[in-house]
Amino acid sequence: MNEDTLELAQDVIIPLAIFIPLFREITDITNDIIELYKTAHTNKRICGVLLDRVQATEVAVRNLTLREKEKSEFFTGPNNVIIRKLVSESINFNQKKVDGDINYIKEDVVSVKKDVAEIKNQFILMVKCFEEFAIIKERAKNIADASLNILDFTPTSETRGKIRKWVRKSDDHDVAFKEMDESLLKNLNREVGLLKMLQESRDVIQFFGLVEDKHHSTLYLVTEWAQHGNLREYYKKQKLDQSSKIQIALDIVRGLNFLEAYQILHHDVRSANIMIGTYGNAKIANFGMSRGFIDTSRNIKSTSNTIRYMAPEKIRGMTYDSRCEVFSFGMLLWEIAEMKLPFSEYKHEFDIRNKILEDPIQLSFKSDMPIKWKKLILKATSSDPDKRPQFKKILAKLKDLNQTPITSTDQNGSSQKKAYIKNIMSIEDAVKQHNKMDGDKAKAWESFEFYSQLGIFIHFNRLPPCSKEQRLNQAAKLFKEAADDGDITISQYYYAVCLYHGLGVEKDLQSAYGYFCKAAHKGDANSMFNVGNMYYEGVGVEKNVEEGIHWIKMAAYNDLASAVKLCEEKGIPL
């Protein structure tokens, strides 16, 4: 500002009134800041500093307002210039103070953000702990629900590695005690959970529970006893004809198809994990490595035994899926046909790996199995995963093969079957033993079941002449006796039919449901279908459509035509 301008400003009186709106605005702002200070919960100190400065300004403004008339000569141009300069300097000084305070606030904000992030992480950790606790609780429940009393079993001297044969005292039923060491305990909950879930399939090893020894030092997994051990042990001791091979393959693929319906991958399909029962039927076992479709696939360590069945893409480190499982089953089909391990001429893992990675894989056939069987193996073991058939298609192919007349058979037959037949009584002897007070009723019912499976039944003409009603009464009585005392699955089904329709016994839908359930849980497809229908329609049990669909689907997965047809009619997906 030059001298002329300053001189001109001396003669100009600036009325204070023009500052009044500004003063009022300052007053309003001050009041707002006071209210903010009163309600502030954080940064109280900074708000207090700001309040002090604003209140000081407000006091000065009020003083100027009160002294407007008595100090009118003060508000001249030169003084105004001086005041402006003073205000400017004050503002600059205060700006530095404010900048410092703002920087302090910024530091506080950074600190608060850090605290919030830490709280968030702690919250996430807490949620994770709750989830882990829920998992542990579920595991504990699984194990608690499966607990058995070792005093209910009697040990035998028969062992297979870590598996010992025991006998259940209540019904003289043979069971297997599998000792769970530290490595197996890691997968215990998964195996127990899966075995409990899969009890509806006759093609999966039956699980009974867990038991500790008397000293609580060893835990055992209790399952059904496989009379003939695993598949490899079986075919090394027992020469298999073409029909037996197809039947074993059917049992296995039914089980794998059942697992797929539950979206479960076994992860270790090989002959060592296929158990053979008394009648030569195959059952899938060892679910310690199993996973759901959406679960993370673990890197299972390969050995010279496991790699023989491993899909090439899995060897290369890709994700395990159902197509890998199909490949393993294809190699198992080859083993069943040739009755030896795949690439048995190679002992080292590196050599076996190279053979599997060949495109196409080189498998030689020397058995007399049908050409369709061999083509199925080549498709299942294709190097291209997308070209491998699904399990339901493999099942259909094997069923077709099973119904095709055998052109090349083992003339000597199966000695195992012959040995079993020698232990079966004639119908007449079985009836006599059944009617004796001290007769061998268990052997009699075993013989009845054997003949019923062959389509041979005791004719009514073997019974004294009587009316149809009396015959129905007698039949119902025999079915009930076999169902309760002999625990015969087919008798449980037929007695349930009698109860359902009131044949030879008073109609009782609730009891019919109970007997159908007993047979269904032991793998009888007809009983599964009836349980499903009763749930679906609410007959003899509280209506539960979801549970009904579940059992109907289980019957369909066990190849019951009426169940498959109903699923198609009701639009139930399979």
Look up residue 136 and give its two tokens. 């542990």
User: What DSSP assignment string belongs to 325-366?
Assistant: HHHHHHHHHHHHHHTS-TTTT--SHHHHHHHHTSSS------
Paired with 223 in beta bridges are: 176, 207
> Within the chain, what is the greatest distance between any pair of CA atoms?
147
Query: Which residue's entry shows tokens 């279908």?
Result: 529
Cα→Cα distances 98→22, 91, 93, 104, 125, Å: 21, 10, 9, 10, 40
Contacts from 502-510 at CB under 8 Å and sequence distance 24+?
503/472, 503/475, 503/476, 504/469, 504/471, 504/472, 504/473, 504/474, 504/475, 504/476, 504/477, 505/473, 505/476, 505/480, 509/534, 509/539, 509/540, 510/540, 510/541
Before 155, cis peptide (omega within 30)?
A: no
Cα→Cα distances 221→179, 286, 415, Å: 7, 11, 32
Apex 158 CA angle, 154 and 162, nearest 5:
95
In angstroms and rounded to an integer, the radius of gyration of the C-alpha atoms of the chain is 42
Return the SS3 of 565: helix
Question: Which residues are catalytic, by number?
Answer: 268
Cα 574 from Cα 260, distance rounded (Å): 11
Helices (DSSP H) in 522-572: which residue ranges?
A: 525-537, 545-557, 561-570
Cα 554 from Cα 542, distance rounded (Å): 20
CA torsion sign, 316 to 318 to 322 to 325? positive
Contacts from 430-439 at CB under 8 Å and sequence distance 24+?
431/458, 431/462
Cα 546 from Cα 363, distance rounded (Å): 45
- The answer for residues whose C-beta is within 8 angstroms of residue 496's C-beta and 6 or more apart is 511, 512, 513, 514, 515, 516, 519, 527, 530
- The answer for residues whose C-beta is within 8 angstroms of residue 442's C-beta and 6 or more apart is 172, 486
Cα 556 from Cα 574, distance rounded (Å): 8
